[in-house]
Structure 1
Amino acid sequence: MAHSGRRIVVALTALLTVAAGLPGTPASAAHPSTAVPARAGAPDPERWSVDLAVAGGDDVNVAWRSGRLRLADPRPSARTRPAAVGGPVAEGILLSAPRVLDRPATRVRARLTARTGDGGTAVAQVRGWRARGWTEWRDAAEAVFDEPVRRVQARVVLTTRDAASEATVTGLTLAADSAATTAVQPAAPLTYRVYATRIGLVGGTTANGHTVRARDHFAALPSRRGLSPRGTGDYTVKVCTTSGSRCEYAPVWDVGPWNTRDDWWNPSSIRENWKDLPRGRPEAQAAYQSNYNGGLDQFGRTVRNPAGLDLADGTFWDGLRLTDNAWVDVTLLWTGGGARAVVGSGPLNLRAGAGTSYASRGLAATYAQVPVQCYVTGQKITGTYRTTTRWYRLVGGTYVSHAYLSSIYGGTVPRC
């Protein structure tokens, strides 16, 4: 087959200004900010190359063959595309090991050497670690650090629309240094009301490579910017019924519904696509309700519901006890600060008090990172990690036993 659309992309260099996971806040709750000046006479950037030949357990549908990183299977199918999207593309992700920097950095530059054509794409993305967790992922062309980070992780995302498409990468180098930026102090995480649908698709594969199980517990957002690596809850959402009677903390493990480049929670200055839409309004909702984009999603499909969030069956049925698609309140927890506990064994009941005799108000999925407010002494529990009488009160007033929490980070937790 002729490849008239093929092109070579060599040494594609871009400034990565990776946002610190804080998309900002509505005007009614603006954060104070302070300038972080660039250091005079700053040393040369720290440089390193990403090893593209190593494909580990965190990588999805990629292979290193003949000196190139490529999709192991370039044909769109239930195994090669995000389960929540079902779009007409196959995709794969190579996730690098995090690099501990010699000195804190606020800027990273990437140099990607790739070959794409006939509808194939190759994108490099990075994120940085600071005390309260990982920043959001950012594409090389539009990234930002709003405070110094000490670790940097890269990933390469490849997509093809059929077996004739080409998307291969032969090199990725990064350079970290410091530049003038504006530090934004974290406040309460962002919360929006959006329409949620049920994923289903048991046996399908999520964007991070997880195989969907019966009554699974995770969520999907229509952007890879908040996509957690498999087996982590780096990006966790709190999803509640509009009455507030039931909630679940769930890791974001898939991309969708409808779109894959619609970080609808970000302001227009950061949002990947659909920058003219109001912040907090998913493109699918605008297309369905107002015929935005001619009523189509990014793939040209007619949008048949206003969903901006997908929920796995266990989250949908057991966590929220929904019986049909519904409007929900979703909090994007990485957009705020404060101490977080990692649920090591779940789904874990969210109790109304510090004991199992109290009513369950919802669930926290395995790997979810839940916001911890303070701790109390309650019922003695023997769990996966320890035997303890310590219970943590979460932001919002529910309680979880320390016996099932694998770690806590991001701040000191006081007694209630």
Structure 2
Amino acid sequence: MTRPRCRIPSVALIATLALLLTAALLPATGPAPAASGGAPITLVAAAPGDERWSADLTIVDRDDVNVRRTAAGLRLRETRSTGRGARSPHSAVAEGMLVTAPRTLARPATRVRAEINAAVPARATVEAQVRGWRAAGWTEWRAATTGAVFDRPVIRVQTRVVLTAPDGGATATVRGVQLTADANAAVSAATPGRTYRVYATRIGLVGEVTANGRTVQPRDHFAALPSRRGLSPLNTGDYTVRVCTTSGSRCEYAPVWDVGPWNTRDDYWNPSSVRENWKNLPQGRPEAQAAYQSGYNGGRDQFGRTVLNPAGVDLADGTFWDGLRLTTNAWVDVAYLWTGGGPRGVVGDGPLNIRTGASTSSATRGLAARLAHVPIQCYVTGQSVAGPFRTTTRWNRLASGQYVSHAYISSVYGGSVPVC
């Protein structure tokens, strides 16, 4: 059955940056800072070797949600609950998100800092987040106002600006965001892919809008996690989970396109040193599970609501019914694939059958959703298949030991794929 869920973003207020500080840092002969609009205001000087750039807030397109560009700056398009895309039926605030085009760096970096020039009314928020590209794909999104540190050098950086406002209240106005990349941060050892057993619930909500701007379709194929750190931009599978029944008989590779259930700042798959909230919980244990099973946080979620089930992942109807063939909420094994490494294939058309062998007559063991990123161990020669991208006898063996035809894989990244 469908259960209450929400997609409320961070409620931590990002303070309005002081223009007086800016004036003090500008040369006496330089131009006076603009009160609104125009280019972002530089607050600090870049150190030698640092790379600085301004996020382009002028382009609002299909991967952006509930934001608009005005002469004064970037604002929420709609702050009332009746506005399409402004909030979910269970949310307490309006939210919006702008995703900029990736920037290729002049040299690899391990840290990116953001400086925001914005007017932020009471109870409204603005947060600048970044992610970095390395050989294995995108890192998770990280808040950049205090400096986002990557576990290994990145060669491209993408920025995301998230705005919230109370229902019907005033929206923040973001005049500019300036980024600084450097390689001065310490780099920790790379971590392997992580898999945890968590409780899965069904999303439902057909016709409503997800946190990344997708309108939920009947029998849709995607997942929701209780943190924006693993939220894929619209029409991408940059963050993909592999969800399997506890018996391992059925699995689905599904992109993460929504935030929920219950909490929205609970990246429980991360160690406590990285985890955004609930740092005293064991890694891999969702806060909702701890609240429901042992009364953690008084049995409530981050918004003070009584937790009614221990859910750590939400599954769209197609993933729930067709991919895993579940009939009711259940425990599942979830792999958070962006925490691993190795070659990844992008499923260009789907949902694609996952099979036990390299032919269409082999038994199916689940599905790979369209745009999901699947880990490829190696490839074999099997039945020739004519697909949307090529006609080929190549079949890719996934990390789960199952196979998908290469005819449906639009691209491969993260390294070369060996012969099995």
TM-score category (smaller protein): 0.7 to 0.9
Distance change in 2, residues 1:134/1:79 (3 Å): same
Deviation at 1:167, TM superposition (A): 2.4
Distance change (3 Å), C-alpha of 1:105 and 1:67? same
Instruction: Determine if contact 1:249/1:364 at 8 Å carries over to the other structure.
Output: yes
Q: Please point out which of 134, 150, 162 is paired with 2:155.
A: 150
- Distance in 1, matches of 2:83 and 2:251, equals 29
Q: Is 1:309 matched up with 2:313?
A: yes
- More displaced 10-residue stretch of structure 1: 46-55 or 360-369: 46-55
1:107 aligns with 2:114: no
**Alignment correspondent of 1:73:** 78
Whether the 8 Å contact between 1:385 and 1:406 is mirrored in structure 2 is yes
Equivalent residues of 1:78, 1:205 under 8 A apart: no
Alignment: residue pair count: 381
Tell whether 2:61 aligns with 1:61. no
CA distance in 2, matches of 1:8, 1:337: 37
Q: Is the 8 A contact 2:78 2:86 kept in 1?
A: no
Q: Give the superposition deviation at 1:107.
A: 1.6
Letter aligned with residue 389 of structure 1: T
Q: Give yes or no for the alignment of 1:132 onto 2:143.
A: no
SS of alignment partner, residue 258 of structure 2: strand
Residue 385 of structure 2 contacts residue 392 of structure 2 at CA under 8 Å; is this kept in 1?
A: yes
Partner of 1:196: 200
Letter in 2 for 1:9: T
How high is the sequence identity, in percent, across the aligned residues? 68
Q: Residues 183 and 287 (structure 1 numbering): CA distance in 2 closer, same or farther, change over 3 Å?
A: closer
Structure-2 residue corresponding to 1:392: 396
Distance 2:287 2:368 in 1: 28
Q: Where does residue 234 of structure 2 map in the other structure?
A: 230
Task: Select which of 86, 89, 92 maps to 1:88.
Answer: 92
Please list every run of 5 or more consecutive structure 1 residues that lacks an aligned counterpart in the other structure.
1-5, 14-41
Q: CA deviation at 1:54?
A: 1.4
**Match among 334, 337, 346 for residue 341 of structure 2:** 337
**SS state of the match for residue 362, structure 2?**
coil
1:299 deviates by 1.7
Shift of 1:287: 1.3
Assess if the C-alpha contact under 8 Å between 1:219 and 1:250 holds in 2. yes
CA RMSD in angstroms, aligned pairs only = 1.9
How far the C-alpha of 1:404 sits from its partner, in A, is 0.3
Say if 2:282 is the partner of 1:278.
yes
Residue 44 of structure 1 and its aligned partner are, at CA, apart by 3.0
| Residue number in structure 2 paired with 1:46 | 51
The whole-number CA distance in structure 2 between the counterparts of 1:306 and 1:75 is 30
Which of 243, 246, 250 is 2:250 aligned to? Answer: 246
For structure 2, the residue ranges without an aligned partner over 5 or more in a row are: 1-12, 22-46
Q: 2:16 aligns with which of 9, 12, 18?
A: 9
Tell me how far apart the structure 2 counterparts of residues 66 and 180 of structure 1 sit (CA, whole Å). 37
Name the CA shift for 1:258/1:180 in 2 (closer, same or farther; >3 Å): closer
- Secondary structure of the residue that 1:184 maps to in structure 2? coil
CA displacement at 1:210 relative to structure 2: 0.6
Aligned to 1:207: 211
Tell me by how many angstroms 1:149 deviates.
1.1
* More divergent stretch after superposition (174-183 vs 301-310): 174-183
Q: Which of 264, 269, 275 does residue 265 from structure 1 map onto?
A: 269
Residues of 2 paired with 1:8 and 1:379: CA distance? Answer: 60
Contact 2:196 2:334 in 1 (8 A): yes
Runs of 4+ in 1 over 4 A off after TM superposition: none
Q: Find the aligned partners of 1:134 and 1:248 in 2 and give their Cα distance.
A: 21
